[in-house]
Amino acid sequence: MSVVDEIKSRLDIVDYIQRTVPLKKAGRYYKACCPFHNERTPSFVVNQDTQSWRCFGACAEGGDIFSFAMKQNGWSFSEALNELAKVAGVEVAPQSPEQRIQTETVDRLRGLLKTIADYYHDRLFDANDPAAVAALAYAREKRGLSVETLKKFGIGFAPPGWQNALEYLTQLGYSEDDVIDAGVATRNDAGRVYDRFRHRLIVPIRDERGRVIGFGARALAPDDQPKYLNSPQTAVFDKSRVLFALDLAGRSIRDSETAVIVEGYLDAIQAHQAGFTNVVAQMGTALTEAQLKRLAPRWARKIVLALDADAAGQNATIRGLEVAREALQADYGGRLSVDIRILVIPDAKDPDDLIREAPERWAALVDEALPVADYAIGVEAGNLPPNASLQEREAVARRLLPILIASENDLYRKDNLQKLALRLRIGERDLLAWAAEQQRIARARPPRGASLAPPEPPPEDLEPPPPDAAGGAVAPAQTARPASPTPAYEAELEKYCLRILFQHPELFYHVNRKFRELAAEDAGLARGPLAELSPEDFSRSDYRALMAVFRMALEQDDMEPLDFIRAQLDPRLHVVLDAVLLDEVDGMRNRLGNRMLADLAASLKQNGRLASPFNLSVEMIEKALRLRVQRLLRERQEVAFLQMEAETAQDALPEHADYLEQLRLSITAQHLIEQELARQITLSKQFQITPQIANRI
């Protein structure tokens, strides 16, 4: 039994969720208002028989006890595994000596940072210190921050002097090296150690879980430079990966599916004070891909960039669009399924100033934020001189087209091409030709981490046949309607999909783009039965766990996805991972031996039975579509039962309508998928060996 299954065998999902969510028995199920979004009618359902949960409301999500713990607490899979193991009394595999040292170091630094953050915060409210009184007055009067806001964000004060924080921490038992490693102190060339932050307003920087990882500091003396000083890179702080206030903004971002990114942490603090709680701040002068991926598509489907309106802010915004384009480039718009908008602040004001002066104007500007295409065309074309040469205009067009390409919904809209052509005085035909060239370049670029040899498909003889006329439905000849799939087929299909994704992570974005295409403009389909591929598409708990870690792997840049998966998995899940990665050729070799395989390959070549050239992207999409149909069939059984319960309840008319809508969307999605499958002829129904397999034999 894997560690995941062992934990699930000891923890009942109803008991676990009931600790924080008031569940009410409803027939075979338990119901409550969803803890992840605001609602009046309960749409959160827990199935004790299958040990699963699902929200049939705005979230349209579900899963097992692990996915619930991860979503509720913002945990990674590894963190959920460790925490649930403690609750269940399951011993997790011990760490290696190196891992233990690293964990102890990180824990020690986090403890130090929490301690010094409390110290700074207490000093700000020290009425007996004239410097602290002046700092508090600056925060209240100059920055317009209330006491409630100061306490909410833990804002503090680093007093003047060279060793206040250092002496405080060393008296508590921390070494000078500890204080330096945490970024609170520094050592000069002469070897002297002193406080990094002196006579400054201190803003703690926290990670997604609310743990202090660093500080931002604003100078209080007029002649003190630099005006803003951040913690250096440490074992727990990497400013390129951090979004300030994400720990406080996460719930609001998830509920609204919109994140607003401002440039400075004081801008974000002012926004939260005014009630705009979906605002976060980038750390540093440039928006990074890692920061974008903290938000999208996991939490936000719309990102509004609200950087400063001066020339530097415009340049930062354009750089941010380039970062977004690079993030999108891997799948020509599939990597980050997000609508990016630009908030233009009039009169070159900072967000901080505008929100304090006219918060209602800020709300309107967020709603009126410009599409990427409109903003980029306006800025780039506006910077051209009136008599710009053709070469200058062509250069601007070639700079803008990649950004428009990354905004897949805007690229072929006639109005955008007309705007660009009109502003640059360039023919639309030329723009279309250049766009097609950029598109070819983007698609030809090999995604990071892609391997060359594709995995082989599962045996097709496990695939259920299409129903015949006697069954009441006639499927197209090419389409296998999985109305009654065998457990063996489901297991092989899930295993095969995981193997392709692990070996070719870029195909995850191809699949998600296909789901978006099928959903078209139907938000109900896009957020529900045609949402992106997820752990919920897998019926086996260990495969769900693998898929959850795979999605985490795509949200980081430090390691190749497969290496990250191996590093994050509990050792007792490695045997499952190895079985998934064992492809068909290796499995046949283990079962038959090399000699028999050679004879088999020779025989197939002689009889001309090798498959036609293999398109892995099309194959993965086809298998993922079949996988989604299996999930829809499972979910419809559950929704149909709830719908029947609602029919018998006198006060359940809204619920009845909701369940009918869920069923309608599910049936519509399955119909769209089956139409797509009917158009895809990728493999014959008989077991074949592709050229890739034969060549490797």
For 383-412, give the DSSP string: TS-TT--HHHHHHHHHHHHHHHHHSTTTTT
- Looking at the domain that runs over 3-88, which CATH code has it been given? 3.90.580.10
pLDDT (0 to 100) of residue 687: 39
DSSP 154: T
Q: How confident is the model at residue 656 (pLDDT cuts 50, 70, 90)?
A: low
pLDDT (0 to 100) of residue 646: 63
Q: Which of 659, 424, 667, 630 is nearest to 537 (CA)?
A: 630
Compute φ and ψ for 240, nearest 5 degrees.
Answer: -75, -15
Q: Which span out of 127-136, 299-308, 385-394 was modeled with the highest average pLDDT?
A: 127-136
Region of poorest pLDDT, from 51-65, 231-245, 571-585: 571-585
Q: Residue ranges of the domains in the chain? A: 3-88, 116-237, 243-444, 460-696
Residue range 121-150: mean pLDDT, rounded: 97
pLDDT (0 to 100) of residue 327: 57
Q: How wide is the angle at C-alpha 390 spanned by C-alphas 388 and 394, nearest 5°?
A: 105
The per-residue pLDDT for range 8-41, each reduced to its tens digit, is 878 989 999 999 999 998 877 888 999 988 888 7
pLDDT (0 to 100) of residue 410: 46
Q: What is the pTM (predicted TM-score) of this model?
A: 0.60
Q: Which of 7, 164, 155 is nearest to 87 (CA)?
A: 7
The per-residue pLDDT for range 596-634, each reduced to its tens digit, is 445 544 544 444 433 344 578 888 999 999 999 999 988
Strand 44-47 relative to strand 302-306: parallel, antiparallel, unpaired? unpaired
Q: Is the pLDDT of residue 254 over 50?
A: yes
Identify whether the C-beta of residue 146 lies closer than 8 Å to the C-beta of residue 136. no
Q: Is the pLDDT of residue 64 over 80?
A: yes
Q: Dihedral of the CA atoms 443, 449, 454, 459 (nearest 10)?
A: -110
Region of poorest pLDDT, from 186-195, 207-216, 632-641, 679-688: 679-688
CATH 3.30.360.10 fits 243-444, yes or no: no
pLDDT (0 to 100) of residue 315: 67
CATH 1.10.3720.10 fits 116-237, yes or no: no
Q: How wide is the angle at C-alpha 447 spanned by C-alphas 445 and 450, nearest 5°?
A: 125
pLDDT (0 to 100) of residue 379: 83
Q: Is the pLDDT of residue 205 over 70?
A: yes
pLDDT (0 to 100) of residue 122: 98
pLDDT (0 to 100) of residue 289: 79
pLDDT (0 to 100) of residue 99: 72
pLDDT (0 to 100) of residue 345: 86
- In angstroms, the CA 323 to CA 192 distance is 40
pLDDT (0 to 100) of residue 432: 74
Q: Which of 287, 273, 295, 294 is nearest to 362 (CA)?
A: 273
Residue range 187-201: mean pLDDT, rounded: 97
Q: How confident is the model at residue 66 (pLDDT cuts 50, 70, 90)?
A: confident
Q: Give me the percent of the chain exceeding a pLDDT of 70.
A: 76
Q: Is the pLDDT of residue 440 over 70?
A: no
Strand 44-47 relative to strand 52-55: parallel, antiparallel, unpaired? antiparallel
Q: How confident is the model at residue 269 (pLDDT cuts 50, 70, 90)?
A: very high
Residue range 332-337: mean pLDDT, rounded: 40
Give every CB contact of residue 114 below 8 A, 6+ residues apart in sequence. Answer: 211, 212
pLDDT (0 to 100) of residue 575: 82
Q: Is the pLDDT of residue 319 over 90?
A: no
Q: Which span out of 301-315, 329-343, 424-438, 624-638 was modeled with the highest average pLDDT?
A: 624-638
